Structure 1
Amino acid sequence: MQSVEEIAAVNDPGEVGRDEHNKGDRLTVLISNLFAWIFPILMIAICAQVFLRGAGMNQAWLDDFQWWLYGSAVLVGIGYAVTTNSHVRVDILYDNFPDKKKLRTEIFALAWLFLPFIILCWDVTIHYAVASVVADEGSDSPNGLHNLWILKIMMNASFIIIGIAAWSAYVRNLSKLMKPTLSRQLIYAFPSTMFLINLIAFYAIWWFIYLTSPADTTAREVGRSAIFDEFEVGVYDIKYTIVISLVLTVLVIGAARFLDRAARNDNAV
């Protein structure tokens, strides 16, 4: 006879290990459960299009609608899979690791490999979405589903959801090894921390230069500002913004350690 845990793993994986979930985990599960209702709508859209096409009344907008539904549901589903650990795994070595080594592997995979990739995806697709909004992009078909920019904004937003899911899963795993203070979270996810701070610093500098420059200054001219140049260190070329980001990352981690120490002192009192 199946246990309650085994039944839940099939019917509602989001309830498995709920006691260990943090707020980010529960938010991801909530959003994903809402988006799961897209799949019945997708099935209806597919069946309707098959019927209409067979009757000689093909609807191009239904084809586009199917891709909109499928793309949105699948992208949000990635975050759900990360939270529930229900994604496809090729565990040749991992299954035989001791528990602590499994946790360290999960932490490394989430914070050093997966999360930086998600941050990169967000950075790429934000430009993709903005360009689509500016162009008021629509379907290639005259009878298709227009306002394609809605889907591209959703694509960019989905990477924020995936990022929340990845960070929450990382913190949940870290808490099984040590108390996940803010400074420890930032240190043990150093590549993700620095990458995110680098993006914030880059855009802050870019917009500051753009907004304080003459009105006829173009985006290309802003990108050619001296602050975005490189300097040589031996055989390497390093961007000034990278150095700025490294310094800011160290300062942010230092500030987090100060806050953690202050919190400990308050609790001690």
Structure 2
Amino acid sequence: MLLKIEKFMDKVIDAVGYLTGILMIWLILNVAWDVMMRYVFHDSSIAMQELEWHTFAVIMLYGTGYALRYNAHVRVDFLYDRMSPRKQAWINVWGTIFFLLPLALLVIYGSYDFVMDAYTTHEISEDPGGLTHRWIIKAQIPFAFIFLIFCAVNFLIHNINILRGVEPPLPEPQEEVME
């Protein structure tokens, strides 16, 4: 049963990762457009520049959960890599329960007033010509951390399956070596 739940959650996380990849393409196009407008036509748009920052923020926020799914997150590798897969799974379980989940819940709780304040005051950019509806980007903070909790539960299930012996550990991400 846990394997089926994990596989379903993997598909949801992969779909969000795919959408994040599309956002990355949008960000590249947005930056290229902004650079062309600025240096070729000597015109620039504050809204386009702000859109770059906001798109980058969304990519980073949602990309964190996607990185967790593929075991590509940051940790103290020089200790962790020397441990058996079973010990690694135990560290992942306890680290997720005692560090990741409480932090994500704290950010969700702490960002609620931040988002609601932006929404109720109809916050807009301070720069003339900037983006309106600032609450939309600010709302991505709690939503991304809800997604991170979803990913953390998936990570827990995966590590529990490793401890149960029904699933092999995820391979470590490979680093590209330049020759």
Q: Secondary structure at the match of 1:41?
A: helix
Matched, 1:28 2:32: no
Q: Secondary structure at the match of 2:132?
A: coil
Residue of structure 2 aligned with 1:39, choices 12, 21, 24: 24
The Cα of 1:21 is off from its aligned counterpart by 3.8
Residue of structure 2 aligned with 1:66, choices 49, 52, 62: 52
Residue ranges of structure 2 left out of the alignment (5+ in a row): 166-179
In the other structure, the counterpart of 2:132 is 146
In the other structure, the counterpart of 1:263 is none
2: distance between equivalents of 1:146 and 1:138? 4
Aligned AA for 1:82? L
Residue by residue over 1:166-217, the C-alpha shift from the partner in whole angstroms, topping out at 9 and shown as x without a partner, is 11111221122249xxxxxxxxxxxxxxxxxxxxxxxxxxxxxxxxxxxxxx
1:20–1:172 CA contact under 8 A, matched in 2: no
Matched, 1:176 2:179: no
Aligned AA for 1:52? M
Residue ranges of structure 1 left out of the alignment (5+ in a row): 1-17, 180-269
1:138–1:145 CA contact under 8 A, matched in 2: yes
2: distance between equivalents of 1:138 and 1:28? 31
Q: Secondary structure at the match of 2:76?
A: coil
| 1:68-217 equivalent positions in 2, closer than 5 A | 68-178=54-164
2: distance between equivalents of 1:113 and 1:88? 13
Aligned AA for 2:81? D
1:76–1:161 CA contact under 8 A, matched in 2: yes
2: distance between equivalents of 1:56 and 1:45? 16
Q: Secondary structure at the match of 1:140?
A: coil
Aligned AA for 2:27? L
1:138–1:148 CA contact under 8 A, matched in 2: yes
Aligned AA for 2:146? I
1:139–1:146 CA contact under 8 A, matched in 2: yes
2: distance between equivalents of 1:90 and 1:103? 14
Aligned AA for 1:104? W
The Cα of 1:130 is off from its aligned counterpart by 0.8
Runs of 4+ more than 3 Å apart = 18-22
Equivalent pairs counted in the alignment come to 162
1: distance between equivalents of 2:152 and 2:93? 10
The Cα of 1:140 is off from its aligned counterpart by 1.2
With the length of structure 1 as denominator, give the TM-score of the two structures: 0.57
Q: Secondary structure at the match of 1:177?
A: helix
1:132–1:149 CA contact under 8 A, matched in 2: yes
The Cα of 1:20 is off from its aligned counterpart by 9.3
1: distance between equivalents of 2:16 and 2:27? 18
Q: Secondary structure at the match of 1:37?
A: helix
1:22–1:172 CA contact under 8 A, matched in 2: no
Identity among equivalent pairs (%): 23
2:6–2:157 CA contact under 8 A, matched in 1: no
With the length of structure 2 as denominator, give the TM-score of the two structures: 0.84
1:25–1:169 CA contact under 8 A, matched in 2: no
1: distance between equivalents of 2:92 and 2:38? 47
